[in-house]
Amino acid sequence: MKKQYFLLTITLSLLIFINLSSASIPEYQTQYPDIPFKFTQVCSDATYITITSIQTPNSTEIINANMTATGSGNFYYNYTTDQYGRYDIRGVSDGCLKTFSVYFQSGNINTIYVIANIILLLFFISGGFVFFYMSHKINYDQWYNSILSKYEGKNSPKVIFSGIAYSFAKESFMTYYLIGWPIVLIMRGFVETFRLTTLTGIMDAIFIIYAIGFAIVGILFFGKLQEFVLGLVDEANDSDWGIKK
């Protein structure tokens, strides 16, 4: 009984050790066959990083190639996978931990993800055109009078929601901005998925500028919304509904 318990303990210990050993190897982001990418490493106190070998799903390539330094401890190496499966990259340097080992998976691009995002992209682009067409067909005076009558009837929820919808329609810059946001996110996702490195910097810049612009556009929109509410109150007070100033 003691012997069986001892063997079970040893077996479990080995399994735990193997799992911990596997988990200690960092995983790099998934790549795709025949799409070039930059394998990057960061080591602030290294003057060089050399890739010693790359183990592909079917063989081991002896590289012994220096990664290109770009400053501030950043290094990169251009590589393209041509098989599906696991790749292990090993290297040495004169800094950090002196040696490193990283693995990544090379697999298929998620077709469902791409198709779903193309459909979403077309949806938001067509939504912009539909909004442009519909916004020029709206009778804003009639809509405004309808909101004014709701205000008279003290129907606050309808006044609030109708007022916000009216402001989004009339102050269309905010609506176009909101429609453009998912388009920017989807395009940025495509650039990352297909590893379009020449466009990465451009899309990142657009993303940052667009995100910062939300604050400016939001302030402008709420300013317009406030003008609408105050105008609605003033017009109601000036009417013959008996509301005193």
pLDDT of the chain, 245 residues: tens digit per residue: 544 444 444 444 444 444 444 445 678 888 888 888 889 999 989 999 999 999 998 888 888 999 999 988 999 999 999 888 899 999 999 988 889 899 998 877 777 888 999 999 999 999 999 999 988 888 888 888 888 787 766 667 777 788 888 888 888 888 899 899 999 999 988 887 776 777 878 988 999 999 898 888 888 888 888 888 788 777 777 665 444 44
User: What's the confidence (pLDDT) of residue 144?
Assistant: 84
Domains (range + CATH), the chain? 25-106 (2.60.40.10), 111-238 (no CATH)
Cβ atoms 43, 17 nearer than 8 A: no
Estimate the crossing angle of helix 156-170 against helix 140-152, to 10 degrees: 160
Other C-beta atoms lying within 10 Å of the C-beta of residue 70: 11
What pLDDT is attached to residue 238? 67
What was the pLDDT predicted at 152? 64
